[in-house]
Amino acid sequence: MSLSEIIEELPKLSMKDRSLVWEKLEEITEADVPASFQQGMKDLAQGRHVDMEKALFESPPQGL
């Protein structure tokens, strides 16, 4: 099956099957992304980050 045939078939899939396709794509692409970057993206999504201007020009809070 060619890529164009696969792309043509995607809209015909059920939502469950589309979800499985996305999960598989994430598995494939995540293997090529360093774990440290993946962790950084998770931290960012959960609000665990510091603005670069603050990090460069302000003192950290006491106790850190």
pLDDT, tens digit, 9 for 90 and up, residues 14-33? 989 988 888 888 888 777 87
Measured between alpha carbons, how far is 35 from 47 in angstroms, rounded to an integer?
18
**39-57 pLDDT, tens digit each:** 887 888 888 888 888 889 9
State residue 61 phi and psi, 5-degree precision. Answer: -60, 155
pLDDT score for 38:
79
64 HSE (CA, 13 A, CB side): 5
Measured between alpha carbons, how far is 45 from 8 in angstroms, rounded to an integer?
32
pLDDT score for 28:
80
Question: How many helices and strands (H and E) does the chain possess?
Answer: 4, 0
